[in-house]
Amino acid sequence: MLNSTQVSYFILAAYFDAGVLKYLFFMIVMSLYILTVCANVLLIVIICMNRSLHEPMYLFLCSLFVNELYGSTGLFPFLLLQILSDIHTVSTSFCFLQIFCVHSYGTVEFFLLTAMAYDRYLAICYPLLYNTRMSSCKIAIMNSVAWVYGFFVCFIMVCLSSSLQLCGNIINKVYCDNYSVVKLSCSDIQIRNILGLISCFLNILCPLILILYTYMKILKVCFSGSKQTRQKAVSTCTPHLASLLNFSFGCFFEIYQSRFNMSSVPNMLRIFLSLYFLTCQPLLNPVLYGFNMSKIRNIYKSLLFHTLTFTLFLFPFVSWRFTVGC
C-alpha cells in the first residue's frame, strides 16, 4: 500500500498515443497559447497606457485579463511538454503547484466577475452616485480581496490535500486536479468531501447568487427606464453575461466530470470538456470585451490605422534600399 511519503510522482492516464498527430496537437495548443497571451497582453497595455480607460469597469477588466494570463500559463506550457513527451508523469510537488494555480485561477475569476457585476449594478441603477460609491480605493480593495481570498483558500486546500495518505498515483486527466488526488486517498475523505462542498458553495454558488441578484435589479431598472438606459445596459452587460455563462458552463462540466463516472463519453470529448474553462475563457474574454466595448474598439482601430500608415510609409523606403543594394 502506497502512502503520501512514497508517492513521488503522478501518472496522467488520460493521454494516449497519437503517433505523428501529436505534432499537430502541439501546433494547435501552441497557437491557442500564443493567441491567448497576445490578446490579453494587448488589452492590458491598452488599458494601462490610455488614461481615458482608467475607469472602474476597465480596471476590473485589466485585473481579469491578468488572471487569464495567470490561468493559461499554469496549464499551456505543461500541456505542450506532455504532448511531446512519451512518459506522462509529473512530480508530486509540481502537481500540487498546478492544482493551486488552476483552482486559484477559477476562484479569482468568479470573484472578479462578481465585482464587475456590482460595478454595472451601480453604474445603471445609481448613475448619480456611481463616482462616489465606486472610488479608486474601493476598486483597489475589491481587486485585492478577489486575489488574496482566491490564493488563501486554494493554499489551505492544497495543504489539506498534500497531507493525505495515498493508495495510488494514477490521475485520469491531462493535468493535475485536486479531487482526482483526493480520490486516491487511503483514509476516510468524508470530511474533505464536506469541505469541498462548502468550498464550492462559497467560491461558485455565492458569487453566482450575487451576480443573479444584481442583474435582477438591472433588468428592473431597464424595463422602467429610458431607451438610452436600456442601450447602455445591453452594451456593457452583454460581454459580462457571455463571459459568465461560458466560464460557468466550463466549470460545471469540470466538476461533473471529476465527481461522476463518464466512462461512456469518448476520451477526446472528456479531455476537451476538462480543458474548456482553462482554454476557452482566456481566449474568449479579449474577443468579447475587445469588440463590444466601444472605447476599446476605437483604440483598436486607431492602433491598426497608425500601424498600417507606418507600414505604407516605410515600405517604399525599404523597397528602394533593397533595389539599390541589389
Query: Residues 192-207: pLDDT tens digits?
Result: 778 778 888 888 889 9
Greater model confidence, 171 or 310: 171
Q: What is the pLDDT of residues 264-300, one digit of tens each?
A: 777 788 888 888 888 899 998 988 887 766 666 676 6
Is residue 321 predicted with pLDDT exceeding 70? no
Query: Does 64 score more than 90 pLDDT?
Result: yes
In a domain, 56, yes or no: yes
For residue 290, is it within any domain? yes
Say what percent of the chain tops pLDDT 70. 85
Q: Is residue 2 part of a domain?
A: no
Q: Tens of pLDDT along 294-320?
A: 666 676 666 655 555 545 555 454 444
pLDDT of residue 325: 52
Beta strands in the chain (DSSP E): 9-12, 89-91, 170-171
Whether the CB-CB separation of 1 and 243 falls below 8 Å is answered with no
Which range among 1-10, 12-21, 35-44, 228-237 shows the weakest confidence by mean pLDDT?
A: 1-10
| pLDDT value at 262 more than 90 | no
- Specify the pairing of strand 170-171 against strand 9-12: parallel
141: confidence class by pLDDT, cuts 50, 70, 90: very high
The helix/strand/coil state of 205 is: helix
Flag whether 285 is in a domain. Answer: yes
Q: Residue 60, class by beta-carbon neighbours within 10 Å (0-12 exposed, 13-18 middle, 19+ buried)?
A: buried
Low-confidence winner among 36-40, 93-97, 164-168, 298-302 (lowest mean pLDDT): 298-302
- The answer as to whether 149 is a domain residue is yes
User: How many folded domains does the chain comprise?
Assistant: 1
Q: In sequence order, what are the residues at sequence separation of 6 or more whose Cβ sits closer than 8 angstroms to the Cβ of residue 2?
A: 166, 167, 168, 169, 186
Q: Give me the chain's average pLDDT, please.
A: 83
Q: Higher pLDDT residue, 232 or 120? A: 120
Domain assignment present for 300: yes
Instruction: Give residue 3's pLDDT.
Output: 44
Q: Is the pLDDT of residue 46 over 90?
A: no
- Residue 224 scores a pLDDT above 90: no
Q: By three-state DSSP, how is residue 184 classified? A: coil
Does residue 3 sit within a domain?
no
pLDDT at 318: 43
**Arithmetic mean of pLDDT, 106-121:** 93
Q: Specify the DSSP class assigned to residue 164.
A: S
Quote the domain boundaries for residue 245: 9-321
pTM beyond cutoff 0.75: yes
- For the stretch 18-35, pLDDT in tens is 788 889 989 999 999 999
Inside any domain, residue 65: yes
Distances from the Cα of 140 to the Cα of 53, 115, 136, angstroms: 16, 11, 6
Interval 88-92 mean pLDDT: 90
The domain that contains 131 carries what CATH number? 1.20.1070.10
| Residue 4: pLDDT over 60 | no
Is the model more confident about 29 or about 233? 29
